[in-house]
Each structure stands twice: as structure tokens, then as C-alpha cells.
Structure 1
């Protein structure tokens, strides 16, 4: 059996290796105020733990999406102001699936800003630095 290339982890620490797009869609759909975030991480790159995409639900069910492709200078975030059922999923799903399939253009759906450690709040014990 070959090693996993992609790993998805949720807030409670459950992991899925090399999930299908359907599984990723279900994991995203399962986000709620008890399980607020997913981390999707490429395991086969040279950046060892520094190539990931994260989604977090806010208290109002809007979302924050972050991605990182290497060192701290390649860490970005964007706000999705709508809850999933009010159109947020139409923004987030193409980003998630585009990132997973490594398709060009997945960044185009949101205005990304560089992640600022001084301004950002931690996502909890599983937050990446």
C-alpha cells in the first residue's frame, strides 16, 4: 500500500487519507459549531507540513479560508461572509476541490490577504504556525 498524498483532519482529530471529492464535500457539509474546521494537507511535497488549506466556521457561520504553500510569506487568508446555506458553499466548494485537484484558478473566487500573526487569532491547539 502506498503512502497517503493528501490528508484531511477535522477539529476533533479524525483524519482521512486520500479522500475522494465526494468525501471532501461530505466533510465540509458536516462542519458545525462543535466541529468548526477542516485542514487539508498535501503530504507529498517538499515543504513538509507547509502546504495546506484550512476552513473554519465563525460563530455566525461565515467562514475563514487559509492556505499556505511553503514558508510564512506564502500564508494567505480570505473571508467568506455567507453561511454555507446562504451561498457560502458556492464559494468554498470550488476552492476546496480546485485546491485538492491542483487546478489553476481556484484562488480567483476570493480576495486573499497575507496572513498576519499579529492580527490573527489561533484556531485552537491544532492551529498551524
Structure 2
């Protein structure tokens, strides 16, 4: 048995190792439906490298305080590429955009992040 390289964890505790693009889509549909609020994808060999998404409305109006955005709808996506100063956030309007981003990140595709307007997060200032 091969050791997993990627692990997805949802807010309700579902764990999925090395998900396919289809399995990621199913998880994102659960977020869209409201039965899940967020998911986090971890690179198991590199703990400071992860991708996460949350429905903007799942934070019940506290998006500005919790996530540093004014988004009231759609999704927030974040990725961290090592150290805290390499933590970024963007907004996506649809779960399809989120799916494109998370699968691109998970597969390590070149340019996966280019369609999005990323802002560096300064989590130390919160």
C-alpha cells in the first residue's frame, strides 16, 4: 500500500486521502449545498503547504473579521506555500472556480493560481 501524499479534511471531520478530481468535486458540492462549510487540503510531506476553501456565507457575516474580506457570497480560497509570509487569499464566485483551483493546486499544475486575484494575508496582525 502506498502512503498518501495529499489529505483533505472537512469541517465535519470527513477525511479523504489522495482524492481524484471527481472526489474533490463531490466534496465541493457538499460545501455548495451547505452540509459542509469548508475543506482543507494538506500536502502530507510538507505541512506548511496547504489549500483551503470556505463558503463566504458560512462565517455568518463575520467574513471581514475572520478572513480579512468583505465577501458576502461565493467562496474564499487560500493557499500557503511554506512560511506564513507566503499565505494568500482570493475570492471565487462559483464552486466550479474553486474546483479548478484546488485540483490545479493538488496536481501541482503550472499556472493554477493565475486566474485569481490573490492577496497576501498577514495572519500575525490578527
As a proportion of its length, which structure holds more helix?
2
Corresponding residue for residue 54 of structure 2: 56
Q: Which secondary structure state, in structure 1, belongs to the residue aligned with residue 90 of structure 2? A: strand
Alpha carbons 1:51, 1:70 under 8 Å: kept: yes
Structure 1 gaps, min length 5: 83-87, 120-129
Corresponding residue for residue 14 of structure 2: 14
> Are residues 1:70 and 2:76 paired?
no
Counterpart among 102, 108, 114 of residue 114 in structure 2: 108
What is the number of equivalent residue pairs in this alignment? Answer: 110
- Deviations, residues 12-57 of structure 1 (Å, cap 9, x unaligned): 1110111111111111111144421010111123xxx211000000
Q: 1 CA distance for matches of 2:100 and 2:38?
A: 17
1:92 deviates by 1.7
Corresponding residue for residue 97 of structure 2: 91
Indicate the RMSD between aligned Cα atoms, in angstroms: 1.5
Alpha carbons 2:42, 2:50 under 8 Å: kept: yes
1:79 deviates by 1.5
1:2 deviates by 2.2
